Each structure stands twice: as structure tokens, then as C-alpha cells.
Structure 1
């Protein structure tokens, strides 16, 4: 999570800044945005659908995130017990990892999964 927040995970955007040529720079989930931390986790319709499912499951207000930092801090919003905050934080961190893994599975192995599969 800290590497993603610093922009230090190997998205297509980060790789191209390092001189690595990548054939397709579009988001593999929606083909509408760039493959970047910001798009993948906060503005891609695929991710937004996942955050909606998670917020309903956790019984919290919908996540309105505009940056990756907002996503990292969403568990602190609203009056909650410390144990609830930790649980929500764990769910969000796990979902980010699964979203990243699903993106890589699709990009490198052509293995597509649904939001429902990630959510489960």
C-alpha cells in the first residue's frame, strides 16, 4: 500500500516513465483510462463497482475517493470503534491487493475475472 501511494508499483505509466516500452497503456478493465495507480484504484468503473460492494457489505457509507490517499484513509471517516476501523482497513487493503492481482492476471495471462469474483 505504501508503494502504491508513492507511485512505486509497476503500472504501465510508471514503467513508461522508467523507459520501459509497453504495448497498450489503457486500463485493462475499462479501456477508458490509463493504467495508473490513480485510475486503477479510484476512478476505474471496475474498481468503483468493487468499492460499492465492499461498502454495502461493511455497512458503511459509500467510499468517495478522489486519490489513492483517500482510499488509504477511508477507514478513519465516521465515528467507529478502533476494532471496526482496523477491520475496514484490512478489507480495503486486501481488496487493493486482489484488484492489483486481477489486473496483472488479465494483462499478462489474459485471465479475466469479474468484480463479483474479487469481492468473494
Structure 2
């Protein structure tokens, strides 16, 4: 996330600015616009769908992202209690990671991105993260899938 905040993620446009031209500048997920950090995580249709599904799963208010700073502040705008807010912040970080990983799989391994698979990967990884974080608090997969954590 720190690389995103500093605009140091090697997106197609960032590489072009550094004179590393290797082909298309289009988004690795949607292939509709030039790939910038803002586009990849905020305005890409795939990313918007993922954020929507994560918001519904976590029972948060509608997620509207206009720039990267909105994602860093997302957990503060939920109205959740401290525990849920902290967990949601972790899920947001995992969502960034899975979006970036999916983009790389699409660009370098020619895999076709799939919203359901992306959201499932977010749930899977965040479940493991949460269980390690909360050593005393055992949560079942069913409760996690309903985001029934408190």
C-alpha cells in the first residue's frame, strides 16, 4: 500500500514515464483505459465491481472511490465499531493486494480476470489473516462469509 500511496507501483503509465516502454498502456484488468494507479484501483470496471462486492459482504455503506486517498480513508467512513473498522481496514489492504495480483496474473500469465474468483480470494485470504490476528477469537467460515465478527 505504501507503494500505491507514493505512486511507485509499476503500472503501465508509471513505467512509460520511466522510459520503460514494452507495449500496450491499457489496463491489465479491463483493457479499456490507460493503466494508472487511480484507474486500476478506483475507476476500472473490474475494481469497482470488486469494491462493490466487498462492501456488500462487509455490510458497509456504498463504496464510491474517486481517488487513491479515498481507499486509505474507506474504513473510517463505515460507521463500524472499532473492532469491525480495524478488520475492514485489513480487508481493504487485502483487496488492494488481490487486485494487483490479479492484474499481474492477467498481464503476465494471460489469465482472464473473474469477479467471483477475485472476491472469493479476498474472503479466503482475509479469513486466514483474521484467524491469525485474533488468536483467541475463533470464527467459523460460515460466520466469516456473513461478516458476523462481533
How far does the alpha carbon of each residue in 1:46-99 deviate from its partner, in whole angstroms, 9 at most, with x for none? 000001100000001111110011011100014321111111111111011000
After the TM superposition, which parts of structure 1 deviate over 3 Å for at least 4 consecutive aligned residues?
none
1:100, distance to aligned residue in structure 2 (A): 0.2
Runs of 5+ consecutive residues of structure 1 not aligned to the other structure:
none
Aligned to 1:106: 106
Post-superposition offset of 1:34? 1.1
Query: What residue number does 1:92 align with?
Result: 92
Cα pair 1:8 1:14 within 8 Å, conserved: yes
Between the aligned partners of 1:28 and 1:65, the Cα distance in structure 2 is 19
Superposition map of 1:72-83 within 5 A: 72-83=72-83
CA contact (8 A) 1:50 1:119 kept: yes
CA RMSD of aligned residues (A): 1.0
